[in-house]
Amino acid sequence: GSREILTDIYYHTSGNKWANKFNWLSENRIGLWFGITVDIGGHVQSITLNDNQLDGTLDFSPSKSFRYLHALKELRLMSNSLIGSIPTSISYLVSLEELNLSWNLLSGNIPEELFGLTNLKILKMDHNGLTGTLSPSLKNLKNLVYMNLCSNKLEGKIPRVATFLTSLNYINFGDNLFDESTVPSTVEEFRSLEH
C-alpha cells in the first residue's frame, strides 16, 4: 500500500529531479525516506517535501493514492511547481490536520470536498492561482486555527462563518478579488463581517 503510493507520488512529480530524494524507491522502510514519517503501524503520518522541486499535478494517480493515506496528518508541499487543481480525492485524507500547498502554481476552484476534512487545523494555500468563490462549507472546519489564502484569484463574498470557527487565531484573505470593500485582515474583523 504505502510504498506504492509514495512511488506514484515520486514518478508523478518528477522525483528524479527533486532536490532531496534520500532513500526514495530504496528497499529501506518508508519511514527512512526523506520527508516521510510513519506511525507505529507503518501508516504514512506526514509527507513534508517543501521546496524540493516537485512538479506535475496533485492528482498523483487518479484517486487511488489519497485513498490509502487515511492516516496522513500532515501534507506539506510548499514552494514547489505543482500545477492543476486540487483533486476532489483529497476527501480521502480524513485524518489530515495540516495542509500546506503555499507557493505553488495551483489553479481552479477549491473543491467542496476539502471542507469535509474536519480535523484540519492548519490550511495554507496562499500564493497560488486559485479561482472561484470560497464555499460557505468553510464553516465545517471547526478545528481550524490557522488559514492563509492570500495572493490567489478568489472572488465573490467571503462567507460569514467566523462564529463556527471558534479556534481560529490567524487568517489572511489579502490580495484576492473578493467583493468586500474591506477584506478582513484579522480574526476580529472576520468575525465582525457578521454584524
Residue 193, pLDDT > 90, answer no
**What is the DSSP secondary structure assignment for residue 74, as one 8-state letter?**
E
At residue 63, the pLDDT reads 52
At residue 79, the pLDDT reads 98
Residue 179, pLDDT > 70, answer yes
Of 151 and 60, more confident: 151
**Cα 132–Cα 134–Cα 139 angle in degrees, nearest 5:** 160
Return all residues near 27 (Cβ < 8 A) that are at least 6 apart.
none
Determine how many CB atoms are found less than 10 A away from the CB of residue 38.
17
Residue 62, pLDDT > 70, answer no
State which amino acid sits at residue 124. Answer: K
Measure the CA–CA gap between 63 and 40, rounded to whole angstroms. 25
Q: H or E segment at 7?
A: helix 2-12
At residue 195, the pLDDT reads 67
Task: Give the pLDDT band of residue 194 (cuts 50, 70, 90).
Answer: confident
Q: Percentage of the chain surpassing pLDDT 70?
A: 97
Q: What is the DSSP string of 11-51?
A: HHTTGGG-S--TTTTSSS-GGGSTTEEE-TTS-EEEEE-TT
Residue 37, pLDDT > 90, answer yes
At residue 64, the pLDDT reads 65
Please provide the average confidence, as pLDDT, over all residues in the chain: 94
Measure the CA–CA gap between 58 and 78, rounded to whole angstroms. 12
At residue 22, the pLDDT reads 98
State which amino acid sits at residue 35. Answer: G
| CA dihedral for 139, 63, 42, 37, sign (positive or negative) | negative
Rounded mean pLDDT, 150-179: 96
